Structure 1
Amino acid sequence: MDWFLIVVLLVFGAAFLVAEVLLIPGTTIVGLAGFILLTVGIWLSYRDLGSTTGHIILGASLVLTVVVVWYGLRPQSVNKFALTERNTARVDDVRRAVGVEPGQVGRALSAMRPAGTVLFGDELREATTRGEFLAAGAAVRVLGIEQNRIVVASA
């Protein structure tokens, strides 16, 4: 029974350490539980099985822990979980939009409640009203461009 309990403690302690380093890094609770289980297992091996067996189990546990931590902290292992893609998307700034000027007339393609899609010539743009609702197909006139929004009203 002594061997079984010690082996169970050591296996679960090692499994918790592996989970902490490789699967769920940064939680600390799982790693702390693994460390406590390994410590209790090593202490019981010294107490119940003698110092020679305790030394062997201590050495094996240390080697296993060092290998797991070394493997888990290598850049190749960390990169598997790290976000390495760069976001190169951008938002169109309507203040620098070509073809949309105050006073220009367009046609609402969607209902303006109060925002919607407007067709200016052959360009589709998102626009907003000052709060009024306009039906789809209504003629609209650009009042101005405010804080990256095209503001329109019924023409």
Structure 2
Amino acid sequence: MSALVIILIILLGLFLLVLEFFVFPGVTFAGIGGFIFTAGGIFLAYQSYGVTYGSIALVSTLFVGVIILVLSFRAKTWNRLMLHSQIGGSVETVQESTIHVGDEGIAITRLNPIGKVMINGQVIEGKCPGNFVDENTQVTVKEVYKTYIIVKPKN
């Protein structure tokens, strides 16, 4: 087999590996194919030209692979492909000084069995286990937890 064909097979393998790293993350056909082509090219170099040229092919393939990775890191390729969104959420907590057991309020949404309730002017997640409570229904606080309250319909 000619040296040009072996070099092209190895370069095709390296190209597929670069595609695997930057375009198709995970284990895909590009990564598997890149590994097969690169290893196959090195194997063909050993088989066709002997140990000396096969070792040269192996070392030069490793060298070129490292050079490609170093250049891609320096070119900030990862930053161009990275998602730059931020999540700015927070958890609503019950202000324990304003809501106590026995306080009364109103269901803002339907408690099915979870929804929003307004107790003492504070909107918080309310749970009503075992009951469905329609919106605008008067409720009473049974228990107070850090992130939600348990309510029951007012009788």
Instruction: Report the counterpart of residue 92 of structure 2 in structure 1.
Output: 92
The verdict on how the C-alpha distance between 1:148 and 1:66 changes in structure 2, with shifts beyond 3 A counting, is closer
| Equivalent residue runs for 1:61-140 within 5 Å | 61-72=61-72, 76=76, 89-94=89-94, 96-140=95-139
Instruction: Report the counterpart of residue 38 of structure 2 in structure 1.
Output: 35
Are the aligned partners of 1:19 and 1:30 in contact in 2 as well (CA < 8 Å)?
Answer: no
Q: What is the Cα-based RMSD across aligned positions, in Å?
A: 3.8
Are the aligned partners of 1:6 and 1:45 in contact in 2 as well (CA < 8 Å)?
Answer: no
Gap runs ≥5 in structure 1: none
Are the aligned partners of 1:20 and 1:26 in contact in 2 as well (CA < 8 Å)?
Answer: yes
What is the CA-CA distance between 1:147 and the residue it aligns to?
6.2
CA offset digits 1:126-152 (Å, max 9, x no partner): 101131112211111111214643011
Aligned residues: 148
TM value normalised by structure 1: 0.66
Are the aligned partners of 1:103 and 1:141 in contact in 2 as well (CA < 8 Å)?
Answer: yes
Are the aligned partners of 1:128 and 1:152 in contact in 2 as well (CA < 8 Å)?
Answer: yes
What is the CA-CA distance between 1:25 and the residue it aligns to?
6.6
What is the CA-CA distance between 1:153 and the residue it aligns to?
0.9
What is the CA-CA distance between 1:61 and the residue it aligns to?
3.9
User: Which SS does the other structure have where 1:92 is aligned?
Assistant: coil
Matched residues in 1 for 2:63 and 2:112: separation? 67
Are the aligned partners of 2:127 and 2:150 in contact in 1 as well (CA < 8 Å)?
Answer: yes
Are the aligned partners of 2:15 and 2:34 in contact in 1 as well (CA < 8 Å)?
Answer: no
Are the aligned partners of 1:21 and 1:69 in contact in 2 as well (CA < 8 Å)?
Answer: no
Matched residues in 1 for 2:111 and 2:47: separation? 74
Instruction: Report the counterpart of residue 46 of structure 1 in structure 2.
Output: 49
Percent identity for Structure 1 against Structure 2:
22
